[in-house]
Amino acid sequence: MKLPLENIVVVELGHSVAAPIAGLVLAELGATVIKIENPEGGDDARNWGPPFLHGAAGMFQAINRNKRSATIDLKDESERETLRRYIVDHADVVVQNMRPGLVERYQLDAVSLRKHKPSLIYCNLTAFGADGPLKHMPGYDPLLQAFGGLMSVTGHEGAEPVRTGPSIIDQGAGMWAVIGILAALIRRKDTGEGCEVNTSLFETALSWMCMATAMYLASGNVPKRVGSENGGMAPYKAYQATDGWVVIAAANDNLFRRFSQAVGHPEWADDPDMSSNSNRVRNREKVNALVADVIRTKPRQYWIDTLAAASVPCAPLQSLDEVLNHPQTRAVGMLQTSTDGKFQLMGLPLQFDGIRPAFRKNPPALAEDNDLLLPGNAVRRTTA
């Protein structure tokens, strides 16, 4: 399958998670992505373990497959010049999340590079954004989950703050970077001009809070932590069965009526406290208590089967081993095996004409592609 970005060359001045996620998606879509690393140990994420997988931390391997690795000592002017020359001669895109101020110091910033190559698309992925009093501050996912408000609405009221398990700020920022880069590539086809794209962890956090923000601005009530619930619907949460948890989402009046009948309490749908979603939200504690009393009487699978038969949305709360062993996971083919057959990683959640981009190349060993940057070496715009 010909991938959509096969003729695009990307230089990833990235480390940790956010920029490498952007590089991963671009590589999965077929771009030649050259990951620039510090010769002394490379990306910090290589050592974020145990567990380790095939020579590096599992976290690193998960987000760096289908890339190439070259090392540059950014303190060495001759090596910096090698990188600058490569970018100007060969690169279509640069994506970077280096410590604020470094790319400017080393003249690897958008202004310095686009002066010599106006068609270059340059994406800055910072912690707090391009402007404001915190623009020079570094940041990590949990810091921005806290600062951006996500922790204030995650977990249970009165309990210790918790972060969302996956690094959704880092991963979301990487995705926004890709969206901006793809939009800039489309515009470049029409104009021939590149541009500077900016996104940040903080702006990503704010975007995740869009619905909570709208609810606050509409009501004046600061959102609280509501566990697995949604503030605007009920019943819409996890309930405990005899052997596990079931998430039930009776998100409108018709679904609630079907739910009530399925669990043996059709009278609930006619109770004035529960006859409409608005009333159920206002009387959330009553609704949840009644539902919980019923659900705790039977095993998880009983409720999954019963509610599915009534076309009421529901799902078991699964552990990761259950998720990976589920036939639906196998059917969609997201878990892909390396070309040498030695390990598996999660693939891209996209298909083109029914085909998912393949696991084409193992995550790179540090510096294994240094020859790509040497003068006289032709850039390899390939998917192999």
Q: What pLDDT shows up at residue 232? A: 87
What's the pTM? 0.94
257 and 358 within one domain: no
135 and 54 within one domain: yes
**The last residue of a domain, from among 316, 345, 365:** 316
32 and 73 within one domain: yes
360 and 271 within one domain: no
The enclosing H or E element of 28 equals helix 18-28
Q: What pLDDT shows up at residue 384? A: 37
157 and 278 within one domain: no
- Whether 26 maps to a domain, the answer reads yes
What are 175's two structure tokens?
Answer: 């995705």
288 and 181 within one domain: no
Q: Which residue has the tokens 């880092």?
A: 170
* Mean pLDDT score, 103-116: 98
CA separation for the pair 287, 250 (Å, rounded)? 12
343 and 310 within one domain: no
| Three-state DSSP class for residue 139 | coil
DSSP 180-243: HHHHHHHHHHHHS--EEEEEEHHHHHHHHTHHHHHHHHHH-PPP--BTT--TT-SSEEEEE-SS
Q: Which residues are catalytic?
A: 170
363 and 301 within one domain: no
pLDDT at 144 over 80: yes
- Whether 226 maps to a domain, the answer reads no
CA separation for the pair 148, 169 (Å, rounded)? 10
The pLDDT tens digits of the residues spanning 156-179 come to 999 999 999 999 999 999 999 999
141 and 118 within one domain: yes
Give bridge partners of residue 314 from the DSSP assignment: 248
Total domain count for the chain? Answer: 2
- Whether 321 maps to a domain, the answer reads no
- Whether 382 maps to a domain, the answer reads no
Range of the domain at 294: 236-240+245-316
190 and 264 within one domain: no
CA separation for the pair 162, 41 (Å, rounded)? 31
The pLDDT tens digits of the residues spanning 233-263 come to 999 999 999 999 999 999 999 999 999 999 9
For residue 78, give the DSSP letter: H
**The last residue of a domain, from among 267, 289, 316:** 316
Mean pLDDT of the chain: 96
74 and 103 within one domain: yes
Is the distance from CB of 187 to CB of 119 less than 8 angstroms? no
**For the purposes of burial, counting CB atoms within 10 Å of the CB of 76, is it exposed (0-12), middle (13-18) or buried (19 or more)?**
exposed
166 and 204 within one domain: yes
**The last residue of a domain, from among 316, 341, 360:** 316
Is the distance from CB of 250 to CB of 306 less than 8 angstroms? no
- Whether 340 maps to a domain, the answer reads yes
The pLDDT tens digits of the residues spanning 338-359 come to 999 999 999 999 999 999 999 9
